[in-house]
Amino acid sequence: MSFSESSLPELTAEILRLTRLHATLAHDKNRPADARTEAFNPGQTQVPYSARVFTADEPEAAVKSSLEFWLTLGREGDAMEQELAAALGVRRSILVNSGSSANLLAVAALTSAKLPPDKRLRPGDEVITCAGGFPTTVAPIVQLGLLPVFIDNDPVSGNADCSQLEAAFRPGRTKAVMLAHALGNPFDLTAVTAFCRTHDLWLIEDNCDALGSLYSLSGKAARLTGTFGDLSTQSFYPPHHITMGEGGAVNITRDMRFKVIVESFRDWGRDCWCASGVDNTCGKRFNWQLGELPEGYDHKYIYSHLGYNLKPLDLQAAIGRVQLRRLPSFGAARRRNWQRLRTGLASLENYFEFSLPTHATAWTPDGFTWGAVKGPRADPSWFGFMLLVRGDAPFTAAQLTRHLDEKKIGNRRLFGGNLTRQPAFVQLRRDNPEAFRVVGELTGADRLMQSALFVGVFPGLTNAMLDYVIDAIGDFCRSAARTGSTPS
């Protein structure tokens, strides 16, 4: 069989047809729960805490992009950035290679000399964050010569204890707040945004676990998290709400000055804002005079920041565009699965304190109860279902995690627990006792470290899987209560 250039459309169509067939046959376990055909065998089939969820559409998009072989960010990347920004309702989204890189770029952007001198973060300036969470929410603060100030966590919501914000503030030193929405549960954006307005501070929302979560200020319409801060970040790592394999984004909510700053830090620190393969967008490529360079030095090789190379591939963006269209159904599945677990575990309140959305006062089978009638509300697109083991329970969180692992039920601790107790931060304090500051005793973060774990709610979990998780946890608790020791 011979082919010519005129055969390319036909050949491409056949490649994509076979790609879809292969994906359908090879990846049944990665389909949304209602599309899976493989039987679930309790105790034998793994129940992940999270995983990629896709159909044949995503491999087709990836293969189609690979056939074009542009590789670095291009047409697919431009489209993904526009579609993500539109979905969130922000001014601009800038793709990067991971959520951790997104956090690094968001903090780096606040150090840019392109910002007003009184707003720019400089070495030694303080950024308020919370002790319990994922390390790369905090690591960029340290890596860029800034000082993290740790406030405590509320162990029930998993989020920052915002009653400590004022105690953490130092006039002239505190310049920003950087907090994550724990397990998709929005932190108290009412308190945090008011605090930042009062003291003229930057706010970065780490939205990596919360894409699709909603929050409403008192009497206001609900908005997506990631739209309240000056900057926000996303992760598209496989366990997250949508995936590009690796990947992430920095979202610019209002101030478009950040566009060229974030892109510069992402793209080697260069001053030029031309896309890859494009020249002279500014129309004066050889007419700039910046720094101490000679006039007319090629603008594509002028660097205004000490930057990085943190771009993803165009192929990843092609996958992300398909995944982004699934976000509403994925969010609905996460909320539905969380509710099924909460209902099924309701009889175990003697053993666990269950999470509540921020501002909720109680859970009922019909939903949540709230305080003020028109007060703030949080509607999480849950990343996981947290189990906070009570202090008087006849077992520990560590014992429960081992039991679930034996039953092939995926679970995780609440990321790094109290980060100040992690080896990296213990060593940091030994090397420099003033490398970070702590407010209070961090008892909430310690409790999360000792007693919290979570199981999955992602869209690939079937009802049979969720019911198996419910039964396994219930059997474990009842056995421990009867015998006074944990089941083997």
Check: CB of residue 233 under 8 Å from CB of residue 206. yes
Verify whether residue 240 is a known catalytic residue.
yes
Give CA torsion, residues 195, 368, 328, 202, to 10 deg. Answer: 10
Task: Output the DSSP codes for 236-279.
Answer: -STTSSS--SS-EEEEE-S-THHHHHHHHHHBTTBS--PPTT--
Q: Which of 27, 199, 240, 305 is catalytic?
A: 240
Amino acid at position 443, single letter: T
Amino acid at position 396, single letter: T
Q: What angle do CA 337, 338, 344 make, to 5 degrees?
A: 90
Rounded CA separation 92/249 (Å): 10
Amino acid at position 97, single letter: N
Check: CB of residue 156 under 8 Å from CB of residue 353. yes
Q: What share of the chain is helix, strand, coil (3-state, %, to 5)?
A: 40, 15, 45
Rounded CA separation 103/207 (Å): 10
β pairing state of 352-354 and 248-252: unpaired
State the catalytic residues: 240
